[in-house]
Amino acid sequence: MGRTMGKQNGFTLIEILIALLIFTIAGIAAGYAIGQSISGSSYIQKRLAALNLIQQKLDELRNTPYEEVISGLDEDELGQPILIDENALPGGIFKREWIVQEDQPVIGSKTIMVRVSWETSARADSVWAYTIVSRPFDVSS
């Protein structure tokens, strides 16, 4: 009078638990990958904004009379360093400074190095760019 095993329909409890475990692990891995992607995208946006700030300053310095091209940094009316945003306005996360070396690499030229740095909760980072400007030639002679 025992029960005979007939054809089973459905899944056993063990099969369901294993399937849930596999889907949970896959979900956690997908969530981690998405988080890393978002973090990387944010870093790239900050780096591009920093490069844009560098380009703005290099353009400004290239259009400044040679004698007036000097080292400096973004500062307020009192001469205190300020943090700027991606539009070079106060209140951002970026610090921009520029260093000018006289007679480098040759006499009558200046090497300009512009650095933009920023900090996030995860790390500090910076980007540098260089250019060279030369004393204008006197063509009237």
Hey, where are the domains in the chain? 13-134
- Token readout for 11 is 């899944």
pLDDT at residue 41 tops 80? no
pLDDT at residue 1 tops 80? no
pTM of the predicted model, to two decimals? 0.69
In contact, 100 and 132? CB cutoff 8 Å? no
Residues whose CB falls within 8 Å of the CB of residue 90, separated by 6 or more in sequence, listed in order? 76, 82, 83, 84
Each as own residue / partner, the long-range contacts of residues 135-140 (CB below 8 Å, 24 or more positions apart, any chain) are 135/66, 135/108, 135/109, 136/66
| Residue range 103-130: mean pLDDT, rounded | 91
Q: What is the per-residue pLDDT for 39?
A: 67
pLDDT at residue 9 tops 90? no
CA dist., res. 116 & res. 54, Å (int) = 7
CA dist., res. 32 & res. 44, Å (int) = 18
Q: What is the per-residue pLDDT for 3?
A: 57
Q: What is the per-residue pLDDT for 99?
A: 96
pLDDT at residue 45 tops 90? no
CA dist., res. 130 & res. 17, Å (int) = 60
pLDDT at residue 122 tops 80? no
pLDDT at residue 2 tops 80? no
Q: What is the per-residue pLDDT for 139?
A: 67
CA dist., res. 100 & res. 70, Å (int) = 6
pLDDT at residue 77 tops 70? yes
Q: What is the per-residue pLDDT for 137?
A: 76
| Residue range 73-93: mean pLDDT, rounded | 84
Q: What is the per-residue pLDDT for 136?
A: 83
Look at residues 44, 50, 45 and name the one whose alpha carbon lies nearest to residue 85. 50
